[in-house]
Structure 1
């Protein structure tokens, strides 16, 4: 039986009875839930990215004021992190718009990978901010300086609570629209919530003990968190850029449709990849040799529609082959044996 991506064996499915009049297959319809329209998803992506930009501009201004008033290196880490958030949010907004541009002559596969590039850029910004904060924290460890806590505490607390709400909203939209750029942006904002919590702990410890050493110590811990978050985002977006196959759950949906369809006798060379939120799928499907071109084409369109009904943002290319002819060709050229189902023996 075929594996999800490739196999030397061609899976065989039982063929549905053909109607006598037109010899056209009576095809079973599967109940599907149609995904939201593409234009509605695009509007949601743009709105979420716009909310993220506005939110980050306001929060960054507040954190910079808190740093200037307190002199805290952990607050500085928060301010720099938020500057990165502004750039990341702007990248997410721009990529959401560019990725919607339809395919053209020079870009026949569309512009979906712009989102992955934006996600990778966000990761680099996050890693750069982490390195700088780590440098400043080590400098403060070697030369501790007194800091002023009170005003910074209030600003960072408000920032943490606000970011918690915004990051949840962005993450929800990212999952609904399958946007890599928004997903990276949501992780960026989630990291902000945790770093803000760390800064609050540092400021409280300094206030309670009077010892400024807690400020750079917490900043170093935040550096590790920022670098790990940036690394996770970079790895995921890199996988999309080098055309890693779709997640296993998506593969399972495709394979299930191919195996259950009564007119599809088998399939092979199933290949998948992702460009931004767009899924690209191509495969060879095997049908009865005696079908007319119109009948085979109708089956192909039926299968494509079923896949589109289960997975959003799909571009499908199916190559239809005559079952017995392909079986003979594979045996002659590759030595593959057709493995019949029990009902065909």
Structure 2
């Protein structure tokens, strides 16, 4: 079992325990804020199973049906998780509004054993902080969208659990039961924010958004190191699928450069980009310099005979 699968399994185990504990205690003492946290953890449990499936499938090599690999499974997973979080938030808002109405009507205003509820909220915050920190660390190391989404879920749980803990403490001190659904509404708003952020993070690669500026700068730096060996490059395109990056570009070389020399140059560029951006698949289309190009070397040989050739901005993708 690789590290990604191990931490995804850890998330499943922790969410199973917390979901059961919160739902049981929430039902026992009638606290809608604890129940809302139980619903949130239940959604996180489903999301953890999805993340576990995604990291297993995305690690499979390319095959005849998926020639570009299975990386986008992680992005699909993250998008589904974002939708699940949104559904959980709507459910919590509905329950909280219903509880406020009942309290105003003089019904359902009692909250039971606050001490036990505070204990489970404290335990939840600590457990989720530990697991989410571990998930995020592995997500950054492996560039896993699925694990990052799961980590964001649990990090949100940390904040909401602390919020519910504080609210239960205030109810214990003041006796104001209406604070319980108000806190639940606050929890729901935080969950909605997490859903929006996660949707943006996971969905963008599904529509082939370009790599971020800092990564395109890295590609440009590698190309500029070899600037005296070619005339120019253009039509640079980049995209991402899960942890995999895909880059393609046109490389203009001196007209009489040998195929062997061009091949070795392309191999060197691809290798250096991959060393700086792991998991990058690069496709370089080499083309001869046109005699109509004033920067094109007039004599046979490598493009090193071309001094001061213009290198186009790598950020200007079509």
Residue of structure 2 equivalent to 1:6: none
Per-residue displacement from partner, 1:88-129 (whole Å, max 9, x unpaired)?
Answer: 111111000111111112211111100000000000000000
Say yes or no: does 1:231 pair with 2:231: no
- The list of structure 1 runs, each at least 4 consecutive aligned residues, that deviate by more than 6 angstroms after superposition, is none
> What is residue 312 of structure 1 aligned with on the other side?
278
User: Is the 2:32–2:181 contact (alpha carbons within 8 Å) kept by the matching residues of 1?
Assistant: yes
Contact 2:250 2:286 in 1 (8 A): yes
User: Residues 231 and 309 of structure 2 are in contact (CA less than 8 Å); yes or no, is this contact kept in structure 1?
Assistant: no
For residues 42 and 21 of structure 2, what CA distance do their matches in structure 1 show? 11
Q: Which residue of 2 is the match for residue 335 of structure 1? A: none
Conserved? CA contact 2:244–2:281, under 8 Å? yes
- Preserved contact between residue 32 and residue 99 of structure 2 (Cα < 8 Å): yes
SS at match of 2:2: helix
Q: Judging changes above 3 Å, is the alpha-carbon distance between structure 1 residues 211 and 306 closer, same or farther for their aligned structure 2 residues?
A: same
Alignment match, 2:138: 173
1:342 Cα deviation from its structure 2 partner: 4.6
In the superposition, the TM-score normalised over structure 1's length comes to 0.82
Q: How far off is 1:325 after superposition?
A: 5.0
Q: Secondary structure at the match of 2:116?
A: helix
Match of 1:87 among 46, 49, 53: 46
Does residue 157 in structure 1 map to residue 157 in structure 2?
Answer: no
1:230-262: CA deviation from partner (whole Å, max 9, x where unpaired) = 011011211111000011111000011111213
Distance 1:225 1:286, change over 3 A: same
SS across alignment from 1:299:
helix
Counterpart in 1 of 2:246?
Answer: 280
CA distance in 2, matches of 1:65, 1:46: 29
How many residues are treated as equivalent by the alignment? 293
The alignment status of 1:322 with 2:281, answered yes or no, reads no
User: Normalized against structure 2, the TM-score is what?
Assistant: 0.88
- Structure 1 counterpart of 2:60: 101
Q: Match of 2:209, SS? A: coil
Indicate the SS of the match to 1:317.
Answer: strand
Q: Deviations over 1:11-55 (max 9, x none)?
A: xxxxxxxxxxxxxxxxxxxxxxxxxxxxxxx92211111111111
User: Does structure 1 residue 113 correspond to structure 2 residue 113?
Assistant: no
Higher relative contact order (CA 8 A, sep 6+): 1
Mapping for residues 252-267 of structure 1, pairs under 5 Å: 252-261=217-226, 262-267=228-233
Q: Select 2:172's aligned residue among 176, 195, 207.
A: 207
Aligned counterpart in structure 1 of residue 94 of structure 2, from 114, 127, 135: 135
**Match of 2:111, SS?**
coil
